[in-house]
Structure 1
Amino acid sequence: MNEFRVTAQRSGGWWALEVEGPGLRRPAHTQARRLDQVEETVRDLLAVRFDVDVNDRTAPTWKITVVPALGEELAAEVARTREVRREAERLRADAVSHSREAARRLHEQGLPHRDIGVLLGVSHQAVSKLLAC
């Protein structure tokens, strides 16, 4: 697998892209309107550069790493935000797991869904979903 690094620099209403990696003597350049379009744009550029049909199953596999040039402070803030969001997702998954177990145990004690909902701080409909899994 060939790995390519793409530096994305905001330029007007576009992202100016500088692509570096194996087989490129010097960086290749292209542009994209939005960050979610960068990978496809770079794959197209590489396909043209290396004369490869990207739809061919035997086409080479390219790992593309996009690095937006945001400045040190803003890049750190974005990284921290992503870290906090990952932690929040982990906590959400833990909360569902614990809620499911508690709902199951309360249900085994004969409590109705509405009472379980009050105890767990969720709706009785959510209790039904927890117990269905």
Structure 2
Amino acid sequence: MANPYHDYNLALLAHLRGILLAMGETEQVSEESHALFLERFDELIMTLRNVPEERHMGQDMICQVFHRYPQIAHLVPRDLLWYFGGDCLHFMPDEEIELFQRLEERRYEAEENDEPFDWNMERQLMTMPEDGPRH
């Protein structure tokens, strides 16, 4: 059964992989170490495609991105920090965690009511200024 939320996060992982690949091309990192890290990152993506519940490996990989590649930390999609949770949440301020908690509650509510839920769209709506236009 397709899970749009899971698919959305897989797409974000693919995006992050592209950023990591570009890091290797800039020669700012050790080529051998970087190649091994990308192999493990690819394993994570393949594992999550087949067994979505296997998120523990993702926590470790995302935390390693912050430690190994601090120059791209600002490019790591915030949604991945929330998706993997655990130690990844240490890289999020409390206000952001509260936003994602509200978003998660809305997602569960939609699932319980068999309603469609677009994580990305809902997130954009929740981060719009209160006095801004909403459709």
Higher strand proportion (structure 1 or 2):
1
Q: TM-score, structure 2 length as denominator? A: 0.23
Higher relative contact order (CA 8 A, sep 6+): 2
Higher helix proportion (structure 1 or 2):
2
